[in-house]
Amino acid sequence: MERCPVTPKGLEHLRAMLKDLKEFQRPANVLAIEEARAHGDLKENAEYHAAKEKQSLIAAQIATIEDKLSRIQVVDPLELDLEKVVFGATVELLDLDSDDEVTYQIVGSDEADVTKGLISYDAPLARALIGKEEGDNVQVKVPKGIREYEVVGIEYK
């Protein structure tokens, strides 16, 4: 059984999603099904079929999140103080092609949001960074070719 690493924020997010699905979305869907049933003939009732389909999607989302929560491994970056890049690290990089500096935190796949500087541990850049130290160079294959970065700083926050 594969473990799912997440940060404490990621765990909170998954729990909040599960709560929303169970306490708000599912009950609202049940009401939508009841309302659609009240309209009569179920064979030709598009509202009923749409509500039943949404019920299946909600059930699948709940099952997926509960499965992840059962396999979760919380990694708190505040408890780490390493000189190498590992899960949870916030890494400052210098793009050697453009001289731009970028900062990314390596997080779980459910937490990833590149617009917020959060990249999944299984993203190509994160995989290339794991195990690196300050001053190391990293090459990453991207759709436009190969990008090269220098690790400028590593923090655990």
Domain spans, the chain: 4-74, 77-155
Q: Is 12 helix (H, G, I), strand (E, B) or coil?
A: helix
The predicted model gives 81-93 an average pLDDT of 89
Mean pLDDT for 74-97 is 88
**Least trusted range by pLDDT, from 5-19, 29-43, 140-154:** 29-43
Sorting pLDDT into bands at 50, 70 and 90, what band is 8? very high
pLDDT at 142: 82
In whole numbers, what is the pLDDT of the chain averaged over residues?
A: 91
Helix, strand, coil shares, percent, the chain, to 5: 45, 25, 30
Whether 4-74 shares its CATH topology with 77-155 is answered no
Count of CB atoms within 10 A of residue 111's CB? 21
Among residues 53, 77, 64, the alpha carbon closest in space to that of 5 is found at 77
Domain at 4-74: CATH code: 1.10.287.180
- Sorted by sequence, the CB contacts under 8 Å of residue 77 that are 6+ apart come out as 7, 88, 89, 90, 105, 156, 157
Residue 120's pLDDT band (cuts 50, 70, 90):
very high
CATH node for 77-155 = 3.10.50.30
Positive or negative: CA dihedral 143, 146, 152, 156: positive
User: For residue 112, which of 127, 101, 122 has the smallest C-alpha distance?
Assistant: 122
Of 131, 155, 123, 13, whose CA–CA distance to 72 is shortest? 13
Per-residue pLDDT at 44? 77
pLDDT reported for residue 1: 66
